[in-house]
Structure 1
Amino acid sequence: MNTRRDDGRLTLFLCGDVMLGRGIDQILPHPLDPTLRESYCHDARDYVALAEAANGPIPRPAAYSWPWGDALDILAAAAPDARIMNLETSITRSDRFAPGKGIHYRMNPANLPGLTVARPDVCTLANNHVLDFGRLGLQETLSTMTGAGLQVAGAGLNRRQAQRPATVTVDDGRILVIAFGTPSSGIPSYWAATDDRAGVDVLPELSRNSAPRLADRIHRHKRPGDIVVASVHWGSNWGYDIPDEQIRLAHQLIDNGADIVHGHSSHHPRPIEVYRNRLILYGCGDLINDYEGIGVHRQYRDDLRLMYLASIAPTGELACLRMAPTQARRMQLHRASPEDTQWTRTVLGSVSRRSGVRIDAAPPGMLTLRPN
């Protein structure tokens, strides 16, 4: 059990997509067959070659800690009470590629230490890659993770499991994580879990009627002293505009008891909002992937990654949000340079301006948002 700080605050580490499959799997000690069924690449090792062409050689095999790089030191210094991330990779040896998909992510279960080295408390799985190798691949993913003592949210062997919150116990309360995804992120509708079929929790559409089923889940599980994180995989990969229906749903979630909306799917950070003194991350951006060297959409600087450290008051209100900027080089996270930190601050501050938030460059090497 984690212990609250003297002022009762909790610190939560949140990040976007952690993609340990494909090229990342190839540099770890136990790579799977690199064969791909993509129009862009037919061999996962090609993604490693692209990264090496851009920034230099990558050790093979690399240590399990290699992809995380400086992120592990940042986490150790922050000592968060809970570490929550979206794992966008199937953990399976299956070679049954899901039909109708252009990209498939998988990592070898033997490479699981590449995830556990970051000590996640909760991995959300309601995304568009966790069933890349079918329901048997999902079942192996779930058994591998639960066998290692990892908590998951947003996927399960049936609807009940997929909708069950993950729980992190703290003094005088809990951190509850509910996770779901939407078709706008690329989740096929037939991936949805049912009473007798494994899958993910899919919200079919974003409309004014979308919130009640989520609100019921929050009300059913939340107790005094609990902090609720609503983790949602939604939207497109690129761009800063947030659709009105996403804003509406985020507000409805908070109106109905969520304390943080943890959005992901975009490959780069999207706007931040503080609504009713509670944090909304519309898109955290990827944290780990194998995109280095591809060279598309360079204006978004998707090589720059953010680690979010939210300090939450006992009432659920945001006390402070610190963000650690990092950069991916040689398939490893490094602390971002002062120039790249300032670029991130300028862009994120600009796209978040309509929400009235201000982002400061402090302390050194960090960005800080404090609610007005």
Structure 2
Amino acid sequence: MITLVLGGDVTVHARTTPAAALGRLNPLLEGADLRFVNVEGPVDAVTAEALKSTGIDVVSVANDAPHPPAAALASLGVLDQAGIAHCGAGANLDSAHAPAVLERSGEKVAFLAYTALRSPGQVAQPGSPGVAQAFATTAYQPDPRVAEIPGRPPVVRTAPVPEHLERLVADVRKANAAHDHVVVSMHWGLPGPEPAEYQVAYGRAAIDAGADLVAGHGSHTIQAVEVYRGRPILYGLGNLAADWPDGLLAGCMFGAEPRLELIPVRRTADNACEPLAGDEADKVLRYVAEVSALRSTKVTVQGGIASVPVGA
């Protein structure tokens, strides 16, 4: 049995005391075998120390934080120096798509990371550094009743870029063949409760290819959980230590009796992140339950913790 705790977006490099942003989460993190977050922006030694002091083992660096490839490579070096594994970016296309692999209790967990959100010049190429991409196309379909009611807004349709989807599926299949568990991190989405069509397509394709869990972030809002073929897709973990409010910590157990639990977190007045409790926690989790029910997934809320049935 391996216990994994996952958080959403982390941006602490510009804070006066970066470690203070995460310190209140230590009681929830210290018992896990593996701890994962998405880190946006450059990683300096102080940021790396903040991550390490909270016990973060592995991070995604595949996102749209606007810093040039040279700075991104420097960040990877800082993470290496700190002993924090990373995925989703590298010196070239192949290294950006390579998994971070960590072993616990004799089992290997592979982490892959991709971004659908982008800043110019950040995409990895065969001979140049950058991030692993999983982009989408956007089209606008006229509302079916636009002839009756002129001016009705169009329906927005999105779909994965075919070659990006093919590469992601190939990456997951390769990782699944070589390791015991595969976690796919996706930086994607728009603010709001609903995942876009391309998010559903990528998430389900990753599960079909052998992923045990898909963890989404990037919309800076909490989105639904979907259990697809017995495995969870977390469409939006929201914020962990970022300059926006709510987020989720997800605790997942891999093994004979898999489990998924969710605990809400919130940015405080002093710019730290702390777990919610009581009525405030239940309010956030009831929202998660409502939006997840729209994806045919039952979320049970009790005592500030949400439980999601997985593995069946």
TM-score, length-scaled by structure 1 = 0.72
SS in 2 for 1:356: coil
1:198 aligns with 2:129: yes
Q: Do the aligned partners of residues 351 and 220 (structure 1) sit closer, same or farther apart at CA in structure 2, a change above 3 Å counting? A: same
Indicate if the aligned counterparts of 1:173 and 1:224 stay in contact, CA closer than 8 A: no
Q: For residues 140 and 210 of structure 1, what CA distance do their matches in structure 2 show? A: 26
Q: For residues 110 and 14 of structure 1, what CA distance do their matches in structure 2 show? A: 21
CA shift, 1:190, in A, is 2.6
Indicate if the aligned counterparts of 2:293 and 2:299 stay in contact, CA closer than 8 A: no
Q: Do the aligned partners of residues 204 and 268 (structure 1) sit closer, same or farther apart at CA in structure 2, a change above 3 Å counting? A: closer
Match of 2:33 in 1: 81
1:230 aligns with 2:175: no
1:113 aligns with 2:65: no
Match of 2:8 in 1: 16
The letter of the residue matching 2:254 is I
What value does the CA root-mean-square deviation take over the aligned residues? 2.0
* Structure 2 residue corresponding to 1:327, chosen from 266, 287, 293: 266
Indicate if the aligned counterparts of 1:306 and 1:326 stay in contact, CA closer than 8 A: yes
The letter of the residue matching 1:243 is A
TM-score, length-scaled by structure 2 = 0.85
Q: Do the aligned partners of residues 355 and 239 (structure 1) sit closer, same or farther apart at CA in structure 2, a change above 3 Å counting? A: same
Match of 1:90 in 2: 42
Match of 2:110 in 1: 176
CA shift, 1:247, in A, is 0.9
Match of 2:233 in 1: 280
Q: Do the aligned partners of residues 335 and 133 (structure 1) sit closer, same or farther apart at CA in structure 2, a change above 3 Å counting? A: closer
CA shift, 1:273, in A, is 0.3
Identity of aligned residues (%): 24
Indicate if the aligned counterparts of 2:41 and 2:67 stay in contact, CA closer than 8 A: no
Match of 1:306 in 2: 248
Match of 2:221 in 1: 268
Structure having the higher strand fraction is: 2
What are the within-5 Å matches in structure 2 for residues 1-372 of structure 1? Answer: 9-22=1-14, 25=15, 27-28=16-17, 65-76=19-30, 79-91=31-43, 108-129=44-65, 132-182=66-116, 185=117, 187-188=118-119, 190-205=121-136, 206-207=160-161, 210-223=164-177, 226-236=180-190, 238-291=191-244, 303-313=245-255, 319-329=258-268, 330-362=270-302, 364-371=303-310
CA shift, 1:358, in A, is 2.4
SS in 1 for 2:54: coil
Indicate if the aligned counterparts of 1:180 and 1:201 stay in contact, CA closer than 8 A: yes
CA shift, 1:216, in A, is 1.5
Indicate if the aligned counterparts of 2:9 and 2:217 stay in contact, CA closer than 8 A: yes
Q: Do the aligned partners of residues 111 and 212 (structure 1) sit closer, same or farther apart at CA in structure 2, a change above 3 Å counting? A: closer
Q: For residues 73 and 225 of structure 1, what CA distance do their matches in structure 2 show? A: 29
The letter of the residue matching 2:45 is P
User: Which structure 1 residue ranges, 5 or more long, are not aligned?
Assistant: 1-8, 29-63, 92-107, 292-302
CA shift, 1:209, in A, is 5.3
